[in-house]
Amino acid sequence: MTRARASRIFRPLDSEPVRAATIRAGEVLVEEHPDPEPGAGQVRVRVRGAGVNGADMLQRRGRYPAPPGSPQEIPGLELAGEVEALGDGAARFGEGDRVMGIVGGGGQAELAVVHERQLMPVPDAVALPDAGGLPEVFTTAHDALFTQAGLRPGERLLVHGAAGGVGTAAVQLGRALGAHVTATVRNPAARDAVAALGADEVVEPEGFEEHGPFHVILELVGAPNLAADLKALETEGRIVVIGVGAGAKAELNLALLMARRGRIMASTLRARPLEQKAATARALEREVLPRFARGELRVPIAATFALDDVAAAYDHFAAGGKLGKIVLEP
């Protein structure tokens, strides 16, 4: 079922300042900021949905600053909305187009500026608020599974923390490729829903290594899993670390890694240069967005919050136990 194109609602020149989530002294609140003006190659987006991610939790605690050139006090790594204005040379999209993309920061605001090469069209089958929770998790999962780990059809994939945003994306992408997907989910109430997304089996985190061996392990939890990950690894298997929420330091049995002829790799997206971010966006356009258009993939939404309730949204994220994404609707 397709959705009608959103109407073009633009801001008058004498409008109020832009409201945005703002980090101050370890707290997140809403403040007014000057209107962002698009520079060369950039567009200004009227934000309709902005996902909340683990990086926002770290940034609030002062542990994950935005990269240079991005707003330092306005969080938000992903957004979706309508193009409102074009900077010099911007030509990929027109005013009113539905777009989404990853940003270095500033996504959790009424307006944001983004380089046009980081943006992607929103498929008609995806509502704009839902699309606000799509770019970061699906780009992260796609890049880790396919670009980094080279997951192939028929291989066995283990996804840790599979009820979260990146986890639900990885389960769906692995299944779509034809991999056998095992998912670890701590919350028993979420296991059936993760299975419905395409996991062949959903298991408790404790003792997951007994369900191996796995060709690819997507590590979203962190250091406490690493020793068992090695035990669960298939010969010539690959471990991709993209989350360390439970810890970043672990002892590593190099002899076991050598015996498995295994590889451990790690990745982040936020600090990559424009060329690399643009490449991930084009890969998602080619290989993932057509599946959204056909209704084969979806963004599970755990909860939505108004911008004024951003503190409650962060608390809900930090509490854990959710299935899918938390999205702000400015």
Question: Can you tell me the mean pLDDT for 90-110?
Answer: 97
pLDDT of 50 over the 80 cut: yes
pLDDT band (50, 70, 90) for residue 105:
very high
Residue 16 is predicted with a pLDDT of: 67
pLDDT of 10 over the 50 cut: no
CA distance 35 to 18: 6
pLDDT in tens, 188-207: 999 999 999 999 999 999 99
Q: Encoding tokens for residue 41?
A: 């190659």
pLDDT in tens, 149-174: 999 999 999 999 999 999 999 999 99
pLDDT band (50, 70, 90) for residue 291:
very high
pLDDT of 223 over the 70 cut: yes
CA distance 139 to 133: 11
Residue 97 is predicted with a pLDDT of: 98
pLDDT in tens, 111-161: 999 999 999 999 999 999 999 999 999 999 999 999 999 999 999 999 999
Residue 281 is predicted with a pLDDT of: 97
Residue 3 is predicted with a pLDDT of: 36
Report phi then psi at 164, rounded to 5.
Answer: -80, 180
pLDDT band (50, 70, 90) for residue 271:
confident
The pTM (predicted TM-score) of the whole model is 0.92
pLDDT in tens, 209-222: 999 999 999 999 99
Show the domains of the chain with their CATH numbers: 18-134+278-329 (3.90.180.10), 137-266 (3.40.50.720)
